[in-house]
Amino acid sequence: MPENFVGLGDPKHPDESATESMQRFQRAPCVERWLRNKAPTTQKKYLGYLGRFQLLAGLSPEQFLQWCKRVESVEIQDLIDKTSQGFKPAIQFCYRVALRSFLHYNGYNSLPKTDLQYVPQAWHRGYKRPEIQSLLGHLKQRVHKLFVVMAAESGFRSYVLMQLRYCHVMEDLESGTIPIAVRLEPRFYAGKKAAGYTFLGQGSMRLIRECIDEGFVEAKPDSKLIPRSYYGVWAAIHRAKSKAGLDPKIQTCHGFRKFFENTLDHASIDHERKMLIEGHFAGTRAKHYTERDIEELRELYRKAYSFIRIDPEERGDAKTDPQDLNMRVAELETKLARQNILEAKLVALEYELRRVKECSR
């Protein structure tokens, strides 16, 4: 099939505007071949790196490929390395990966080996509950608060949160089932950064309903739960983080995912199911063997929710709610189990201490 065949390429992505769709079909065939099956966010980032290369090297994508055919492979790698020297370490790493990927997808596979390893310049911890509470107090728009609470309660990465629609939570939201199972399409569970089989708690449920009542979110299957651009959400949270005087080393949005994973650690739930909820499938039984029954995972999440919840006093209204009572029981059971483990360790230590004393006599 010729590369200029009318209609060649993927259908329009549901999140893509008409302008973006037109620009995509105007790409050079070598660029389209490279980006065809990549996620929209990856496409935007890779195009940015390719654009930087064009400015620095003065070569279009087609000219770059033609030049590669005439020179030694080490010269190609030297050019990539030379044009990346002025970038920060993280950008430099991604830039080199992107350009090598571009050449690979266009049939150039003879590049020399290189040390493509990014070494983080600093360790970034996650948020703590009081810090998220302070952050929420400095956010004005309810939609921004919804992003924060959903990120903290689900552990989803930002790209998943920005694609969440009403249909993903509609079943449990309309039935009043807590926690709410987020039912995503299979495409979200593929790749290195897969989404987890996770849930949303009482805080998210309350904010979603308030956003619907106030008209920020429509109760329609295709309506986005966060009808804003990612940069707008990030900027609002970043400003609030600065006003609250929080540690600048905390990653503005990814820090919520770290908070979520830390709370699951404290909840002491089964490791394989924890990996399933977080979306860490690589190297675990969760990828093929661990049970993915929603109700079983819902019960585990319910037990861990006392550690996850943002507002420790968040209990709903004064009326007795059976689900709330079940959640309180689950919290007490989790705390009791942790207490039993500590007591068992204490007994073992006392026994070891007595044995040491007897041996020393």
Q: Could you tell me if 211 and 72 lie in one domain? A: no
Residue 121: per-residue pLDDT: 59
Per-residue pLDDT band for 26 (boundaries 50, 70, 90) equals low
Residue 282: per-residue pLDDT: 63
Q: In angstroms, what CA-CA distances link 356 with 342, 343, 360, 361?
A: 21, 20, 6, 9
116 found inside a domain: no
135 found inside a domain: yes
124 found inside a domain: no
Q: Could you tell me if 62 and 152 lie in one domain? A: no
Q: Could you tell me if 133 and 271 lie in one domain? A: yes
Residue 118: per-residue pLDDT: 58
232, 173 contact by CB (below 8 A): no
29 found inside a domain: yes
323 found inside a domain: no
What is the helix (H) or strand (E) element at residue 199, kind and residue range? Answer: strand 199-200
What confidence tens digit (pLDDT) does each residue in 89-130 have? 888 889 999 999 999 999 988 888 877 665 655 678 899 999
| pLDDT(11) > 50 | no
| pLDDT(7) > 80 | no
| pLDDT(219) > 50 | yes
117 found inside a domain: no
Q: In angstroms, what CA-CA distances link 146 with 88, 120, 137, 225, 340?
A: 32, 30, 13, 8, 37
| pLDDT(342) > 70 | yes
Read off the CATH number of the domain in which 221 is found: 1.10.443.10
Percentage above 70 pLDDT, the chain: 82
Domain boundary pick from 314, 331, 350: 314
Number of domains into which the chain is organized: 2
Residue 314: per-residue pLDDT: 46
Q: Could you tell me if 238 and 270 lie in one domain? A: yes
Q: Could you tell me if 99 and 133 lie in one domain? A: no
153 vs 182: CA distance, rounded Å: 11
Q: Could you tell me if 140 and 271 lie in one domain? A: yes
320 found inside a domain: no
Q: Could you tell me if 43 and 148 lie in one domain? A: no
Domain boundary pick from 67, 90, 105: 105
Q: Could you tell me if 251 and 183 lie in one domain? A: yes
196 vs 273: CA distance, rounded Å: 10
Q: Could you tell me if 164 and 295 lie in one domain? A: yes
Domain boundary pick from 47, 71, 105: 105
Q: Could you tell me if 287 and 167 lie in one domain? A: yes
What would the DSSP string read from start to end of 13-57? PTT--HHHHHHHHTS-HHHHHHHTTS-HHHHHHHHHHHHHHHHHH
List the domain range (segments joined by +) for residue 78.
18-105
Q: Could you tell me if 50 and 163 lie in one domain? A: no
Q: Could you tell me if 201 and 140 lie in one domain? A: yes
Token couple for 192: 């290195």
352 found inside a domain: no
What confidence tens digit (pLDDT) does each residue in 276-326 have? 888 877 655 555 545 567 888 898 898 889 889 887 544 444 344 555 566
List the one residue out of 195, 117, 127, 123 whose CA is nearest residue 160.
195
